[in-house]
Structures are given as structure tokens and as C-alpha cells.
Amino acid sequence: MSRFARPARPRLAPLALALAALLGGPVAAQSLPALVISQVYGGGGNSGATLNKDYVEIFNRGSSAVSLEGWSLQYASSTGTGNFASNSPLALPGAMLQPGQYLLLSLAGGANGAALPTPDKEGTIAAAAANGKFVLVAPDASGTASGLACNGGSAASSPCNAAQLARIADAVGYGNANYFEGGAAAPALSATRAAFRAMGGCTDSNHNGNDFTAALPAPRNSASPLNPCSVTPPPLNQPIAPVCMALSLVQGQAGSAAQTASDPDSVVNAVRVVGSLPSGLSLGTLTPATGEGGTASVTLSASASLAAGSYPVELSWSNDESQTANCTATVTVEAPAAALTPIPSIQGTGARSPLAGQTVSTEGVVTKVLNNGFFLQDPVGDGNPLSSDGVFVFTSSAPTVVAGDRVRVSGSVIEFDVSGSGANPAAEARPLTEIGGSPTVVKLGTAALPAPVAIDLATQGGDLLERVEGMLVTVGGPITVSQNFFLGRFGQMTVAAGDRVETPTNRHRPGPEAQALAESNARRTLLLDDSSSLQNPNPIPYLGEDATVRAGDTTPQLTGVIDFGLYTASTTGLSGYRLQPTVMPVFSRANPRSSQPPVVGGSHRVASFNLLNYFTTFTNGRTADGASGQGCSLGSSVSAGNCRGASNLDEFNRQQAKLVAAIKALDADVLGLIELQNNGMTAVNRLVDALNTELGGPVYAAVADPASGTGTDAIKTALIYKPARLGPVGASLSDPAAVHNRPPVAQTFQTAAGSRFTVVVNHFKSKGCDGASGADLDQGDGQGCFNATRVAQARALLGFINRLQAARSDVPATPELMVLGDLNAYAQEDPIATLRAAGLVDEIGRDKAFGYSFVFDGAAGRLDHALSTPALAARVVKADEWAINADEPSVLDYNTEFKPDDRYSPTPFRASDHDPVLVGLNLAPALVATAARGSVNGTTGDDVIVAGPGANSVQGGPGADVFVIRNLREAGDTVLDFTPGVDRIELAELVASLGLGGHDLLASGHVLLQDNARGLGLLFDADGRAGPARASLLMLLPGVNSSQIQPRRDLGL
């Protein structure tokens, strides 16, 4: 049966609203404040916690019952940007709270501590242990509970307005909160301290600092005895004041300490031990107080036989009025000083301790506490930079120490293989030195933390961090996030000192330069952990604006303890040095989100997008249409185990909403899709239907699958397009070459003005090593497994392109062609070099020095490409990636597993793991010079002007113009109005005609820039620096000099 009576729906008093508007602060919802927050505890479940859940206690300090219908408890961080409404507001139960009655609200919790008394309502608010702010909020105008879209007063980041303040009946800010009642906040709390309103909740002076004190948590629910408040409080019965004195001894030494207690208005006359005394400790006979206010005393004694260790003895005192009070006297027995081994001696100067397997005792200061142990550091050290002054103490369960404790530890020196598998050579080679074997820990007192050691990862990172393993350090910055894939699952991010990390073979051809970059990357990279081995942290750490932290975001420095362990929980996966922060970093949005794709210009746009397994058949065997018992095809097998995308309809709808939002914003005229279920037209048509529904009409259509098929893999590629903008010419084709398990799919399109071009969408073999053998094994050059297969696929693609460019029965000859898709090769790897050597133009590469569409192992690079044939290159205005996926934490994706803190939203961000690629094409008819030594004038728009035979005089006119030289017969033109940074000279067809594709023509000396009195001469040397041939003029640019030219931007080189 309910402990409450059912209420009538309350109304907010008009007077309270008026007062809030005038005062700008929280006021009660009645003329006298009746409902108050009487107790707050935010450390529930934390390491060393008294109780396993956070809680807030509500109290009726008034003289009449109050209806709780429509009331709510709301929380915001002490100084952060989150609003009360965004932190899981908890609606109070619809009931009547009687005068003097308590209401217990249990909140989020953890694994540590005892259970709460039965709560009256359970919620999920996750409060901070030390600092935060709670508000008790009256019903809104409709009489219901609703969140406040603000987080405090004028000092808060989102101040509450008058109407919002009027609904706040009571506010409690604790610790360093920036919102509280009166002149000061309530004291900071902890895992063992709750905030108590004085007089059991009856005191309310509207001053948190005066009204609240911190004490051991003692929650009260609605079944607790009533505590009716009177206008004039009765005289207080003063409590017993016990004083327990600690006793510190050296092993083999006996000793004793007097324990006392007094009571100003009673006689302390009894004492007892709570629990039992360990052997070697004894409590003498009590000498009771002789009268009120007198002191009672008793002696706690330790014999010389007491073993080394720490012995807390809890004493319970009582008086002649049946009051009790407890205190704890801690007896500490230290091992003889001669037995101590300094921490640097335990660590040694190598990767392994010279004392491994031995039992040692050592002393130091606790610098960082984890959920299964703590880090201990010698505050002085040995002055040797090769040996660490810190060590990890493994306690298995949550330790009882706190940072700043000075302790003595005795245990076994262990070299711990963090993988625990014996099958991870990297982890075995770099074990973590720790003190374990059920160590004994004796608290000796407190001490200041050692000053953090300054670390420069560029020179002291990588394996050199062994020298500071277990030590408190400050890593110099700026520190840049390089990967956040495991943030939601394990609370981990990969960070780097300096700029973000680029995949070596994205910048350099495989070889010494790429290897040097790989080594530099490894040195300056570090894993930032969350100080816990628990998975699926709630809340997710390090998130900032828009509930994300993006790769590329920065923080000035990191301070914490250097640890070594697994990246994720995979025993065969990566391991390395980690930083367990002692100062929580705040990341600045150095790499902001863009809600719209990049501007690429042109008359038409083509794009590619890896959808990360868009399947209409789910891993549970059901389909998007509701059928059950279904499967996905892979080779000759059909089973649900072959399905790779959403697990169920809920996940599918979440996935599709994100993809549709991204594709809608891309607004491409042709879109190549990668990683759709290979189930005929079912998946692509489903996506097109959803997209057209969002767009309000039949904007997109799917290209029919080619008659030659889409391969035998579970996934395929596909094309969609806008029929109102262009149309397909002839049938689609795929390349049936056996090297393709996911064949490239091609379609020729034609605009209304008659311009034709072909799009080929691809998905090359991945870098994963399952099934690799021979030349497909990882060669150690940074290109991963199956590089040989990808090179063979690139060569097969070139043959396919030749066939596509030639005339067919249903398609005229079309040399203009764009290769799109996920080629699973970074920009400087062999497959891409093969395509460039054949004359294809890397369109993203000539626009951006550092392009990326994917992040793996903390490094960014381009797996998704746009390469044009020379005939189409002049039509490309710009190619770019839209950074909506690779930089975002995977926890923001559509999946529902492992997400106690689910931050999903139906936006484009983290719709996939690859960023889409977008290309702008200028498909207006080109202007072609026909007369030798004639003149050519462009229009007022963006023109493509093709040099004809002979030395022509060319005037591009306004706009961004492209001047094309197709062969040496068209050399010698003078461009009268070339503007660097606006116009471009296109040499792709010339380069292809001379067989120089894939070369750095400036470095080889084939193309030269020569300043002279007439302007800038663009010259060509047939044999470059290798031979005696003289350079000849390709084009003259009057009024321009070489210092104004950026080869990548202005010449496409």
C-alpha cells in the first residue's frame, strides 16, 4: 500500500511568480517555503563510496501537506554549459507529502557502497561527487513537470529568466557551484560525505553555506519518523563529542592512546567497540564522566606482537540520555625502516624490474586512485632520469586510500602482461611493473603531491615513457585529439602532441619518408584514459559542445599519471602508454562541425558515400518490411550471420534517418553509394524512397543494376541520380574481372545541354588480414594486407575505363570519366599511384595537401577518392570531403548496444565511419581556339578554354577560368588576364599524351616556371633534368610572376 495520499493538482502561487521576476533568484512556490532539499549525496557507487547510489532527500518543513504532482528534481553541473532540462529531470511521485515527512529520490550509481533504504522514486540523474547544483522545481503553467532550459543565475552559462526562476522552489549548489542560495554554496562533498540541511531540514535561511553541513550519508525516506518543524525550535539536546586519537608504532613496539568523549548537557557513561578487536589490540576500562559536560576516557592499547598494518577501531559512545556517537581510532604499525626498498630501485632502468618476483616494502605518496588500485610515487626520487619514481599498486578491488595519502606498501613485484593472453607479443614485450599479490597498505599520514614532471612527447614519447611509468607528469601541448572511436565504450581517446596524426602513406610513398613519419607519429601519440577499467562509462567523459569531442579538437596540456595497458579490452589488440588524468582536460573545438557540405562550385555535383553497411535484412533475421527468418547472401551461403548492418528495425530507422539527412545535404546530382546490402535493387530503392519522402517528391532515382551483376560479396556499390538534372545514357555496366569480389559499377550520364560523362563507383579489397597469403600479406611498408590485390584491381579498373571510354552500341565515345569510391588505399599507396601513372588526376590531392576521409589507429587519411580522366579534369572545379563522420565518436552512431548514455540524434554526424566526397563539375560547353595566332575571348562566367594549334591570344574575362593545353601542338598561347588563385591552367591531357602521369613534373624538371620581362613563362622540357633537350614555351602569363603561383592550386601539379 502507498505511504502517500493521492493529491489534487497544485497551482503555482502568483505571488511567487511576481517575486521571482523582481528578485531574479529562486523563491518558494508558496508564501512560506514548505518543500526543501534536505540532503544531497553525489558520490554513490564511486571508489570508497559509503552508498552505491546518489540520492537527494526532499522534506516538507511546512505546517500542511503539499501535493507533489508536477514537481521535479533537476540537476546541472557546477560550472558547465549543460541545462537542467538536459540532465534527466526526475518527476516526483504524484502524492501528498505530510508536514515533517521526508521523500527519498535515488539517482545514478555504481558498484561500490551499501544499498540505500527503499527509495520513494528512482531516477537516472548522474551527479558529480564534489560539486554540482540541484533545484526543486514547481509545476509549469499546465501543472506538469517540465525541464528548465537554463542552468542558474547570472554567473551561469545559461541564466534562468524570471519565469524560470519563479518555478525554482529550492536550490542547493555545493562545492564550486556557480549557482546557490545566499552568499555561499554548501560545502564540497565526496564519496563519504553528504550535505545536510540543519535541524533535520527545518532550517531554511536561503543561504546554502549557512544551512548545510557535510557528514556521513544518512538518507531518510517517507517511512522515516516525521520531523515536524515548529516556528520556534525547542532547545537542542546537544550531541556527544567524541575524540579518537590515532596511534602509530613501529613493528615490535607496544603503545597506547587515550580516547575521550564529552557532552555539554549529558553524562557520557559507556563505550563499546563496533565489531571485534584484532588480536594484539585491547580496550581498557572506561572512566565515565563525573557529570554533565565532563569527559569520559578509555585507553586503547597495542601489544608488541601486532603485525604491520593499519587497524581502524570504531568506538561507539553513549550517555545517560541514550544518545550515541561514534569515532574511529586508527592504529598504524609500520614495518622496520631498514626493510624499505625505494620505488626507483623497484622500477630499475629497463622495461622490467630487477626485483620481479621478490617481496618488497616501499613508501610514497598516492598520486592517483583507480577502481582496482592506485599509483604511488617517491616524492624525492633517485635523480636518475632512466628510472621511474612511480609504481602501480594493484589492489584488485577499490582501494581505501586517496590522493595525497602517504602510505607504506608491502607486496610482490610483478611484471604484468596487460593482455593476459600470452598471445600479444607487443604487450608481453612491455609489461607493467606493479606491486601486487594482495599487498598490505599502511597509511602513514598525508603529504603534498610531487610536482608533475614536464614531458615533451616529440622527444620523450613512445617507449621512452617507460622512464616515467607510474609517475605524475604534465604533457606539453597543444594536445590534439586524433581518434575517439573507443570513447563511448571504454572512455578512451588517442591524442597527439602538436598537430593531428596523418597516415604516413597518405603523405609519402611507402619507403623511408613514410617510415620516419610513422616513427614520429608513434612518439607523439598517447592514449587518454578515464581512470577506470569499467566499460560503457556513464556519463561519457570529455564530451563538449554538441555532445561531441571531434578529432582535431585541442587542449593546452595534459596532467596525470603515465600508465601502460590495453587500448580497448581486446587482449590481442593494441596496447601502449596511457595517461590517467589527475586534472580533467577540457577540449576546445579547434575542428568545428560544418552543418553544410563544402562549396565545390560548378554546374553539377557528383559525390560518393560509404554508407557503413546499409542492410534491409537485419542481423536478427528480420527485414525492414517485417519478414522473419531471412538472411543475407555471401558467396553461395544465405544466413542472418552474413548480415552486417542494423541489428533490428529500431537501429535501421536510426541509421536511415542519419544517412538521409547527410545525402539530402550533399545535394549531389549523381551519388555513388558503397556498402549497401547486395540484394538486388531492394536496399537502394528503400534508401531512395526514404530520401524522396524527406525531399517531398521524386527527386532521386536509382540506376538499375548492371546485367553483368554486382558480385558475390554481402555488400555492393550502386548509383543514384537526379532525373531532373541529367539522365542515364545506355545501360549500366560492371567489370566482371575475377579480381573484383565487389565489381565497380559504371553509368554514363548526359545533361540537358548535351554534355556527357561517366561515373564509376568502386570498393576495393579492405586492408584486413583474414585470408591473406603470399604477396597479399602485410609487407611492413604501411600499406597493410591485400595491397597486391588492390594493385591488381586498379589495373583491372584501368582496362574497364578504356572500354567505358570507347563507343558502344548504346553509348557514344565518352572520354570524360570520374572514378569514385572507397579504394581502401591511402593517397600515396601503390593502387593510387597505379591509377595516377595511367593519367588519372587525383582531384582531392591537387586541391588539398592533407585530405582525409577515414581515421584508423589514431591516424587520418584518404581512403575515399575522386580521380578524373584527363578529358574531364578541366571540368572539375573542386573536390573535397565533408567531415561529418571520421572525426566524430562512434558512440554517436545509430547502434543501441553499449550505450547507457545514448547521445544519438538524427543528424548527418556519425552517419557512417567514412566521410563523403563531393566534386563540382563545370559542364558548360568549352571554348576551343581553332585559328593559329588568333584570339579567343571568354564569357563573363566560368569558362573552359581549350588552346588550339598555334600561338593564340586568350582573354578569359571575369569568372574562374580554366585554360587547357591538350598537346604540344597547342603550346605558345598568351593568357592576358590570368589571375592566380582564381584561374587554373590544366595540363592533364598534355601529361597523359606524353606518358608522364603520376610524376612530379616540377621536381623532375619537365615543367618550369621562368620569370622574364614579359611576365611568367610556363615552359616544358621533354626530357626534364635528365637530358640535354631545351625547354619550350607552353604558355605566357603577362603581369604574373612565379612567386604568385601555387602549383597545386594554379597548375594542378
For the chain, first and last CA: distance in Å?
Answer: 81
Asked which of 284, 313, 334 is the last residue of a domain, the reply is 334
Which residues in 740-773 are b (16+ Cβ under 10 Å) and which e?
bbbbbbbbbbbbeeebbbbbbbbbbbbbeeeebe
Q: Give how many domains the chain has, as a whole number.
A: 6
Task: Retrieve residue 736's grid coordinates.
Answer: 566482371
Within-domain flag for 224: no
Residues 263-289: what's their mean pLDDT? 93
Within-domain flag for 78: yes
- pLDDT tens column, 687-714: 999 999 999 999 999 999 999 999 999 9
Between 21-35, 521-535, 569-583, 1004-1018, the lowest mean confidence (pLDDT) is in 21-35
**Which CATH number is 493's domain given?**
2.40.50
pLDDT at 236 over 70: no
Between 214-218, 811-815, 1009-1013, the lowest mean confidence (pLDDT) is in 214-218
Within-domain flag for 96: yes
**Which CATH number is 754's domain given?**
3.60.10.10
Query: Domain limits at 976?
Result: 927-1051
pLDDT at 944: 93
Please give the residue that has the higher pLDDT: either 976 or 334: 976
pLDDT at 932: 64
In terms of domains, do 459 and 497 share one? Answer: yes
In terms of domains, do 1007 and 882 share one? Answer: no
pLDDT at 3: 39
Please give the residue that has the higher pLDDT: either 177 or 928: 177
pLDDT at 6 over 50: no
pLDDT at 786 over 80: yes
Residues 318-330: what's their mean pLDDT? 92
Within-domain flag for 221: no
Asked which of 565, 583, 601 is the last residue of a domain, the reply is 583
In terms of domains, do 1023 and 987 share one? Answer: yes
pLDDT at 10 over 60: no
Average pLDDT across the chain, whole number:
91
Asked which of 275, 307, 334 is the last residue of a domain, the reply is 334
In terms of domains, do 890 and 1039 share one? Answer: no
**Which CATH number is 147's domain given?**
2.60.40.1260
Rounded Cα gap, residues 916 and 658, in angstroms: 13
- pLDDT tens column, 104-152: 999 999 888 878 889 999 999 999 999 999 999 999 888 889 999 998 8
Residues 461-465: what's their mean pLDDT? 91
CB within 8 A of 95, min separation 6: which ones? 2, 3, 4, 5, 6, 7, 67, 68, 69
Instruction: Please classify residue 143 by burial: count the beta carbons closer than 10 Å to its beta carbon, then call 0-12 exposed, 13-18 middle and 19+ buried.
Output: middle
Between 158-162, 623-627, 767-771, 800-804, the lowest mean confidence (pLDDT) is in 158-162
Pairing of strands 432-446, 405-416: antiparallel
**Which CATH number is 245's domain given?**
2.60.40.10
Q: Is 958 helix (H, G, I), strand (E, B) or coil?
A: coil
Confidence of residue 337 (pLDDT cuts 50, 70, 90): low
Residues 915-939: what's their mean pLDDT? 87
Pairing of strands 715-721, 670-677: antiparallel
pLDDT at 31 over 80: no
In terms of domains, do 748 and 848 share one? Answer: yes
In terms of domains, do 760 and 808 share one? Answer: yes
Task: Retrieve residue 923's grid coordinates.
Answer: 559542364
Within-domain flag for 643: no
In terms of domains, do 969 and 915 share one? Answer: no
pLDDT at 5 over 50: no
In terms of domains, do 317 and 343 share one? Answer: no
In terms of domains, do 18 and 156 share one? Answer: yes
Find, among 20, 31, 37, the residue nearest to 165 by Cα.
Answer: 20
**What element of type H or E holds 666?**
helix 649-666
In terms of domains, do 320 and 350 share one? Answer: no
**Which CATH number is 401's domain given?**
2.40.50.140
pLDDT at 511: 97
Rounded Cα gap, residues 921 and 909, in angstroms: 26
For the entire predicted model, the pTM comes to 0.71
Residues 484-493: what's their mean pLDDT? 94
CB 277 within 8 A of CB 283: yes
Instruction: Please classify residue 778 by burial: count the beta carbons closer than 10 Å to its beta carbon, then call 0-12 exposed, 13-18 middle and 19+ buried.
Output: middle
Cβ atoms within 10 Å, residue 697: 8
pLDDT at 8 over 70: no
**Which CATH number is 975's domain given?**
2.150.10.10
pLDDT at 33: 54
Within-domain flag for 600: no
In terms of domains, do 204 and 272 share one? Answer: no
pLDDT at 157: 80
pLDDT at 860 over 90: yes
Q: Where are the alpha helices (DSSP H) in 217-304?
A: none
| Percent over 90 (pLDDT), the chain | 71
Residues 481-505: what's their mean pLDDT? 96
| Percent over 70 (pLDDT), the chain | 95
Within-domain flag for 286: yes
In terms of domains, do 894 and 944 share one? Answer: no
pLDDT at 1000: 86
- What are the φ and ψ backbone dihedral angles of 951, each rounded to 5 degrees? -90, 100
Within-domain flag for 863: yes
Confidence of residue 931 (pLDDT cuts 50, 70, 90): low
